[in-house]
């Protein structure tokens, strides 16, 4: 009996999934750094363009290294199909555009990544698509926002930057009742700790730039879901608008997937320990970590996530205190990236959420005292010492 990769454990799928060796039998995945492909004859080119013969024609449509990345991530996610994109935002844009047309309406959580909010508020209206933003943990708000023309629900959980969590299964149920599709941005939870497709989502999007690379090198993104839906909604859009991932980036991200399970679990263990120490510090007004029992949506987190993740946020009460904290750090970097091997601290109000208005920031509870921490792979003792020294300094 041949092994079915879908039956493998997650760690095995992440290391071996999608591997398609060339006749040379290389151990590492081959990097097909090529734009296009040649044909044995005009007849062969004719057949390949007609779709009568399998094979690649142009790397904007597909590429063998990118395909290995897509197949590996699809296996990890338990999705039928994955399409890779040049960045996480290309994935979100593609995911929404392929499901929407003029006259359609989207309901989205308020607390979503800044650029996603920009697409909904500033870009979609140009094409006659309206969005209503709701307080995502409030199920009644999703129901109340539904209109006859609602076609898509968009959500992020845990959400940036304050780790707000919403009940994905319950929101998917509301969407099913009205025939809308659900797109979930699963960047913060990662494929290791949360599987939106099993909770009822139709499409999952990732910024592979974050944990999937995890070592600060390349941008990438992905859209995952059922093959029929992805083919119908995205195949031609990908071919003709060109959000394709570079084969080089796909190769880097394939190697990232091999260590994803190990890295994310280790980072999450350290994040949980640091969250407890930070929450206990007298200067800290509030500390949010999905794995802590005092998280506002701890019960939902326990139901739909298998780990707390690598991110936490805490409130120091004022922008001055937050800046003193950041200024006193010696080991952690001040940076707005996340999911990296290097731990990073950021002040969301002046960086990632700068483009969001003050009023919108207050709606999601983001006051000037909040600091977001992405926990990396350094020794826990060094991170704890650095953070506690910086907290003492504010």
Ligand X SMILES: *Cc1c(COP(=O)(O)O)cnc(C)c1O
Residues forming the site for ligand X (CB under 6 A)? 87-89, 92, 113, 156, 160, 185, 187-188, 207, 209-210, 219, 221
Residue closer to ligand X, measured from CB, 305 or 321: 305
Do the Cβ atoms of 373 and 391 come closer than 8 Å?
Answer: no
Pairing of the two strands 203-207 and 181-185: parallel
- Quote the DSSP letter at residue 167: -
Query: Beta-carbon neighbour count of residue 198 at 10 Å?
Result: 12
Residue closer to ligand X, measured from CB, 30 or 341: 341
Residues 6+ apart with CB under 8 A from 52: none
Query: Which of 256, 175, 176, 271 is CA-nearest to residue 222?
Result: 256
Q: How far is the CB of 88 from ligand X (least distance, A)?
A: 2
- The torsion angle over the Cα atoms of residues 121, 124, 126 and 132, rounded to 10 degrees, is -50
Q: How far is the CB of 247 from ligand X (least distance, A)?
A: 17
Q: How far is the CB of 36 from ligand X (least distance, A)?
A: 26
Residue closer to ligand X, measured from CB, 209 or 297: 209
- Taking CB atoms, the residue at the shortest distance from ligand X is 88
Q: How far is the CB of 330 from ligand X (least distance, A)?
A: 26
Residue closer to ligand X, measured from CB, 91 or 145: 91
Query: Beta-carbon neighbour count of residue 183 at 10 Å?
Result: 28
Residue closer to ligand X, measured from CB, 196 or 321: 196
Q: How far is the CB of 81 from ligand X (least distance, A)?
A: 20
Query: Which of 164, 232, 222 is CA-nearest to residue 197?
Result: 222
Do the Cβ atoms of 303 and 264 come closer than 8 Å?
Answer: no
């Amino acid at each position: 009996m041949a092994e079915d990769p879908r039956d493998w454990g997650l760690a095995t799928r992440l290391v071996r999934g999608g591997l398609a060796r060339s006749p040379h039998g290389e151990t590492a995945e081959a990097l097909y750094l090529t734009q296009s492909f040649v044909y044995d004859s005009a007849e062969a080119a004719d057949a390949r363009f007609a779709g009568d013969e399998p094979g690649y024609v142009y790397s904007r449509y597909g590429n063998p290294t990118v395909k290995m990345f897509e197949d590996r991530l699809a296996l990890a996610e338990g999705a039928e199909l994955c399409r890779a994109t040049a960045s996480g935002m290309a994935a979100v844009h593609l995911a929404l555009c392929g499901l929407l047309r003029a006259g359609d309406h989207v309901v989205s959580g308020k607390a979503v990544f800044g650029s996603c909010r920009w697409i909904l508020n500033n870009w979609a209206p140009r094409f006659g698509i309206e969005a209503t933003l709701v307080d995502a943990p409030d199920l009644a708000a999703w129901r109340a926002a539904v209109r006859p023309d609602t076609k898509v629900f968009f959500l992020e959980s845990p959400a940036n930057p304050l780790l707000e969590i919403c009940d994905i299964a319950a929101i998917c149920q509301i969407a099913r009742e009205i025939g809308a599709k659900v797109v979930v941005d699963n960047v913060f939870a990662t494929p290791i700790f949360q599987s939106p497709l099993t909770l009822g989502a139709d499409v999952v999007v990732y910024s592979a730039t974050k944990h999937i690379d995890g070592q600060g090198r390349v941008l990438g993104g992905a859209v995952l879901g059922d093959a029929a839906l992805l083919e119908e909604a995205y195949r031609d859009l990908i071919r003709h608008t060109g959000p394709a991932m570079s084969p080089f980036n796909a190769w880097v991200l394939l190697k990232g997937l091999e260590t994803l399970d190990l890295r994310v679990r280790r980072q999450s263990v350290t994040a949980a320990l640091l969250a407890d120490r930070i929450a206990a510090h007298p200067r800290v007004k509030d500390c949010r970590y999905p794995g802590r029992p005092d998280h506002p949506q701890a019960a939902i987190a326990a139901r739909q996530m298998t780990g707390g993740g690598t991110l936490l946020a805490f409130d120091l009460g004022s922008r001055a205190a937050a800046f003193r904290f950041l200024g006193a750090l010696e080991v952690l970097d001040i940076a707005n990236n996340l999911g990296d091997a290097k731990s990073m601290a950021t002040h969301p109000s002046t960086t990632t959420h700068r483009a969001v208005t003050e009023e919108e920031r207050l709606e999601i509870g983001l006051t000037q005292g909040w600091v977001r921490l992405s926990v990396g792979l350094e020794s826990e003792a060094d991170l704890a010492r650095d953070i506690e020294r910086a907290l003492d300094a504010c």
